[in-house]
Amino acid sequence: MKVFAQNRKARNSYNFEEFYEAGIVLSGPETKSIRTGSVSIVDAFAIIENEEAFIMEMNIEPYKYADQIEYDPKSQRKLLLHKNEIKRLIGLTSQKGFTLIATKLFEKNGYIKIELALAKGKKDYDKRKKIIEKQQLKEIKDY
């Protein structure tokens, strides 16, 4: 399994509840661009409209050898999920505070997949509490 991009910033800002693996509908040049590493999922999130899932704000740079005219690197792309997973996610994301965050973009069996996390945002005091705990553990290890 080859990982093309990870969203490390999300671990600091969200608590992850569940993980889902989804395929992505891509064009040929987009696939080649991802395989060369020209992709970023730092701000990427998923939405569900009309019982279809889409990934938003995933930045795929244009493939330099393709002759695409008016290519939008941040256009929405369709996600391939099972219908029962989509129905479950509709119910879960409608609850207050839950969202679908992209955590990892990888290749599995020759297909490019994305890992989505059902996440709930952390509060500022939760983040500070975690930093204090890390500092305390570090001080204990130093002694």
In sequence order, the 6+-apart residues with CB closer than 8 A to the CB of 78 are 24, 25, 52, 53, 54
List the structure tokens of 115. 């890992």
List the structure tokens of 41. 């999922």
- pLDDT tens digits, one per residue of 39-91: 888 888 899 988 899 999 888 888 888 777 777 777 888 999 999 989 888 88
Q: Are 21 and 126 in contact (CB under 8 A)?
A: no
Q: Where are the alpha helices (DSSP H) in the chain?
A: 9-13, 28-35, 83-93, 124-142
List the structure tokens of 49. 């409209």
- pLDDT tens digits, one per residue of 42-52: 888 899 988 89
CATH of domain 2-142: 2.40.280.10
Tell the residue number behind the tokens 């305390």, with chain if given: 136
What is the number of other CB atoms lying within 10 angstroms of the CB of residue 31? 16
Q: Which of 21, 16, 17 is nearest to 80 (CA)?
A: 21
**In DSSP terms, which residues pair with 22 in a beta bridge?**
114
Q: Binning pLDDT at 50, 70 and 90, where does residue 30 land? A: confident
What is the number of other CB atoms lying within 10 angstroms of the CB of residue 79? 24
